[in-house]
Amino acid sequence: MDFQILISFVFATLALAISPGPDNIFVLIQSATYGRKSGLAVVAGLMTGCFIHTGIVALGLSAFIQSNDYFYFILKFFGSAYMLYLAAKVYNSDMKTNKYSKKDQYIKNFELFKQGFIMNVINPKVSIFFIAFFPAFLFSEKMELFKQFIALGFIFVITSFFVFCFYVFLSTFFVELIFRSKYRLLVLNRIQIFVFVVIAITILIN
């Protein structure tokens, strides 16, 4: 087992997780809008989705998805449609503060967990990215390929989880400084809609 390769993989994952992208922005906006616990729920959903993609890659299903243009388009279409559905849902929602009762907070956090999970799982590009990224960091000549992909997926999720948690705490720390206006909720509402639409377009055209 080559630990230097694993260390290189961790640093490469850190660089990818820190780089601005749809997932980072999604986490930032949701955390700023609903608070830290809700932001962490989104992160948990996204990372759980990554575990699903790791399994898909390890089982070799990503190659089938990539080679089947029709099936790949269907997945992208549903992923894009789901993002637009979330945008419409935010647009039609009542703008409230993030002060919920314990029961309502639990329901809201679970809803955000589902959003993060579904957003990740129905994006086929995550599996395609994994199948392109992981082989460069295979770390053992004796361990089965399946087990190495699972190990790399686990490291990827754990590393990304800590980076995204940093985004959660960073966004909630500065939100009051950035959005002091009474129109703060309206601004965050419109940013959420914009982010969802951008993610929908990105999924569909790439």
pLDDT of residue 110: 86
pLDDT of residue 44: 92
pLDDT of residue 145: 74
**What sign does the CA torsion over 40, 45, 48, 49 have?**
negative
Q: Is residue 195 part of a domain?
A: no
pLDDT of residue 185: 61
Q: Is residue 83 part of a domain?
A: no
Per-residue confidence of the chain (206 residues) as pLDDT tens digits?
A: 667 888 888 888 888 788 767 777 788 878 877 788 888 999 999 999 888 888 887 777 656 665 667 766 776 777 677 778 777 876 776 555 444 455 566 777 888 898 889 888 877 777 777 777 777 787 787 877 778 888 888 999 999 899 898 888 877 666 655 555 556 666 666 776 777 787 677 667 75
Q: Is residue 173 part of a domain?
A: yes
Q: Is residue 82 part of a domain?
A: no
Helix intervals (H) in the chain:
3-18, 22-34, 36-58, 61-67, 69-92, 102-121, 124-133, 145-178, 184-205
Cα separation, 20 vs 162, whole angstroms: 15
Number of domains in the chain: 1
> Which residue type occupies 34?
Y
Q: Is residue 91 part of a domain?
A: no
Q: Is residue 201 part of a domain?
A: no
Print the domain residue range for 147: 3-13+22-77+97-179
Q: Is residue 33 part of a domain?
A: yes
Q: Is residue 49 part of a domain?
A: yes
What is this structure's pTM? 0.72
